[in-house]
A and B are shown apart, each in its own frame.
Chain A
Amino acid sequence: MTGKYILEVEGASQQYFDQSEKSFQVLNNINLQIREGEFVTIVGPTGCGKSTLLRMILGSERPSAGNVLMDQKPILKPDRNRGVVFQKYSLFDNLTVRQNVRIGLELENFSIFGNLLNTVFPGWKYEEYSTLVDEYLERVGLLQHGDKYPYQLSGGMRQRVAIAQAMIMKPKVLLMDEPFGALDAGTKDQMHAFMLEQWQQTGQTILFVTHDLEEAVYLGTRVIVLSQYYQGANGAKIVKDFNTPWPHPRDQSVKEEELFQDMIKTIRNQGLNSNYLLNQEEFDLSHADAIQLAS
């Protein structure tokens, strides 16, 4: 079966130490396999370690036990293959929108000579990037805002720039840590439509962490629920792992369907509710790639 998964998490656990040097387990034996091109959303109650899982896949954090693999190679550090969009500090505020989108290209094709030339003749070397940068700005609908600084943008616009900034590098996997967490409902809907459109155009593998259940079910082709509430709990586990049945492209009307509402209700009642999980012996891991562990 191995070989076709772009990301694999094998028995990964994570421990932190609090101020009194006592350790506590955040993630407990997480097993996860993700195929190329999937749009995976990860939800769970507050503090269940969904961001920790994302950071382990990003490489900015190492699991205390277990492995995280990308293309069968262990992930040790953040690198070029995995782009990221954070909720906060997503943009470089000393750069304009255009420079923010361009910076990845500059960093990748850096030469001291080119940099010097460009200081003397501004805009000389970056000419070659401008078509591509404009294309991405167009795509996120911010072409006419190219010369603004992040402080002049609204929250939704900033996140769109951040997405363009990550996407222009065409990373194999795009990791998003509650990117729309701070946006209002209307802007969020726009961003969802935008995100699905981008995903369909690029076919990228996306890992999307959120605490918003509706967002998770609406966006994801696959939803993973993490929870730290279960019998004999010691760090969060994957308690649900399932496909969403609606074909892409989806539109807002999906949210009105009974099945959609039911799905959210089920997650809320079974994934986030401690009473239910504490009485469960087995978890509902209906996804084909989910790893069933004999407990």
Chain B
Amino acid sequence: MLSVTKRSSWTDTLLSIFLFVLIIILYQYFAHQRHLLNPHDKLVPTFAQMLDAFTRSTFEPDRNGVYRLLDDTLASGQRVLISMVFVFGGVLMGAYMGLFPVMDKLFYKFFLFFDKIPALAILPILFIFFGLGEVSKVALIVIGVVPTIILDTYLRAKAFPQEQVIKAITMSASKSQIIFKIILPKIFPMALDSIRLNFKAIVLFLISGEALAATAGLGYRIFVVRRYMAMDIIISYVIWIGLLSYLIDAGICLWIKKQYRWYNK
């Protein structure tokens, strides 16, 4: 910190929300202007319309008696959750690769290559092999993100101070204890951090998968209503997706801060 005097916290808060407020005001102004000219304008819905669309999809069941937002969020959430299992498996894989030279030799080049293939390019293959169902969509996320997570954890485990591993061995640690009691507890917050930063990619692959083939899901919905130019729904969904991602990010940050006090110190 260069500044010696500390600014009061409310000015800081004001500064950090300034751009949000500015954008909202400008947007509302232009939307209002357009609606004055054409009351049926669909391109730039006002906030009242967006809120209306959002409440409709949240609290009113559609023709099939489904609460859309809840349904879409659950469908997408389930896909993300299943792929998270693989992501955490990737963390474990990376730790093993970092510690055991055989695993290192066997898998490193393989995952490095896989990491370079754009996952979206594999999507047609996935659709052909697994059909248009859930498997393809989860597989897309997994193929897109897990190699990165594996390589990241691998590098962390590789950089783990050898002295500490030796020390653990002098205290009669077995190989699996070194992984589970020495290395993983220490690199886990780093892994959480990299999962947090890669969450954007997870959402990206989720929406791509859903856009192409799905019957429910946040990404599916915005691509479906595009046909009716329902900007009010699209924008409210985009904000909802952004909000969810932000909350997950903040949640992981809080987890790291509470659970791993020694981290980043």
Binding site for B on A (CB under 8 A): 58, 60, 77-80, 82-84, 86, 88-90, 92-95, 103-104, 106-108, 110, 149-151, 165-166, 169, 171
Contact = CB atoms under 8 A, between A and B. Distances in A.
B181 A84 contact: no
Given A86-B163, A89-B164, A106-B181, A78 B262 contact: no
A80 B170 contact: yes
B258 interface: no
B171 A94 contact: no
Contacts of A150: 262
B171 A92 contact: no
Contact of A107 (B171, B186, B261, B262): B171
Contacts, number: 70
Nearest to B181: A107
Classify chain B: how many residues form its interface, as a range. Answer: 20 to 34
A107 B177 contact: yes
A95 B171 CA distance: 16
A58 B166 contact: yes
Contact of B186 (A58, A92, A169): A92
Nearest to B262: A149
Contact of B169 (A78, A94, A110): A78
Interface in B171-198: 171-174, 177, 181-182, 185-186
B161 interface: yes
Nearest to A60: B166
A172 B186 CA distance: 29
A110 B170 CA distance: 15
Given A89-B161, A104-B172, A151 B167 contact: no
A169 B171 contact: yes
B171 A149 contact: no
Contacts of B261: 149
Contact of A103 (B161, B163, B166, B181): B181
Given A86-B163, A88-B163, A94-B186, A107 B265 contact: no
A125 B173 CA distance: 18
Contacts of B171: 80, 83, 103-104, 107-108, 165, 169
A77 B262 CA distance: 31
Interface in B125-175: 161-164, 166-174
A181 to B, nearest CB: 14
A151 B186 CA distance: 14
Name the prevailing secondary structure of the B interface residues: helix
B260 A94 contact: yes
Interface string B5-49: 000000000000000000000000000000000000000000000
Contact of A151 (B173, B174, B265): B265
Among B162, B166, B182, the one with the most A-chain Cβ atoms within 10 Å of its Cβ is B166
A58 B169 CA distance: 11
A110 B167 CA distance: 17
A88 B265 CA distance: 16
A241 B168 CA distance: 32
Interface in B222-265: 260-263, 265
B265 A94 contact: no
B72 to A, nearest CB: 36
Given A86-B163, A151-B262, A92 B182 contact: yes
17 contacts: A60-B162, A78-B170, A79-B169, A79-B172, A84-B167, A88-B161, A89-B164, A92-B164, A94-B186, A94-B260, A94-B263, A107-B173, A108-B171, A110-B174, A110-B181, A149-B265, A169-B172
A169 B173 CA distance: 12
Given A88-B163, A93-B186, A107 B260 contact: no
B145 to A, nearest CB: 25
B193 to A, nearest CB: 14
Contact of A171 (B166, B170, B182): B170
B189 to A, nearest CB: 8
Contacts of B182: 92
A108 B168 CA distance: 10
Among A90, A92, A149, A151, the one with the most B-chain Cβ atoms within 10 Å of its Cβ is A92
A145 to B, nearest CB: 14
Given A90-B167, A110-B177, 9 more contacts: A58-B170, A60-B166, A79-B169, A84-B166, A86-B167, A94-B186, A103-B171, A106-B181, A169-B170
Given A90-B163, A103-B181, A83 B262 contact: no
A124 B46 CA distance: 59
A80 B181 contact: no
A103 B163 CA distance: 15
